[in-house]
Amino acid sequence: MNRRLHELGESWTVSEDPFKRVSTARPRSYLTFVDSPRFVGRNPTNSEGSQFEPGDPLGFNVHYRANGPNSVEVFSIANALYLEPNTGIETQKAMLAIFTEEVNKEKKTLRPDFSTLSPGDTRFVTAQIFTGTPQRPVATAEDLEKLKIGTQVAFVITEITYKDAGITHHERMCFWLQTPASPPGIWHSCEVFTKSD
């Protein structure tokens, strides 16, 4: 514009209005967890949210959603169910150490499994006890009684690694289930593994 004014013989110029500058920063998109973990349900229908019975798959579904204006690329999901004797901070730290060790082992041996979530897409993963085998762990009468009276506490821990605009982020959560461990459950946040980025 100023060059054209000079070509026309004008001696005045124009400058950019600082109040009209448009930001070129791309708005951030996120993955967020939806609600608390949900009971996986009973066989044979596996309808979500039903009370466990002996022989049912022992696990909890963790739902997550893409939020924001852009798609996000998920390339790692790690989650597990732990049955611990109490909710103390030392128990939580020990559980997190085991989880972190297992995740680090998997990162060295498994290839990333990429998937893209568009804004508003919701998916879930099932947290189960790690057995080292393809078999799904099932609830025993003893497990269910211990969960009911509180001599065993269910912990669900999940980490989702994803990219937004090429930048890596992590969505993390850890919850424990209060007695009597009946659906939908009263869930509490752990004191560890609560920071997402």
pLDDT digits (tens, 9 = 90+) for 1-33: 777 777 777 777 777 665 556 556 778 999 999
Looking at residue 17, its pLDDT comes to 62
- 136 burial (CB, 10 Å; 0-12 / 13-18 / 19+) is middle
| Bridge partner residues of 74 (DSSP) | 115, 162
The strand pair at 187-189 and 59-67 is best described as unpaired
Q: Is the pTM of this model over 0.85?
A: no
Region 170-191: mean pLDDT is 95
Region 80-91: mean pLDDT is 96
Torsion of the alpha carbons at 53, 56, 60 and 61, rounded to the nearest 10: -120
**Length of the chain measured in residues:** 197
Region 79-95: mean pLDDT is 95
pLDDT exceeds cutoff 70 at 187: yes
- 155 burial (CB, 10 Å; 0-12 / 13-18 / 19+) is buried
Q: What are phi and psi of 145, to 5 degrees?
A: -65, -40
Region 133-140: mean pLDDT is 79
Looking at residue 106, its pLDDT comes to 83
Report residue 114's pLDDT band, with 50, 70 and 90 as the boundaries: confident
Q: Which residues of 86-99 are buried (b: 16+ CB within 10 A; e: fewer)?
A: ebeeebbeebbeeb
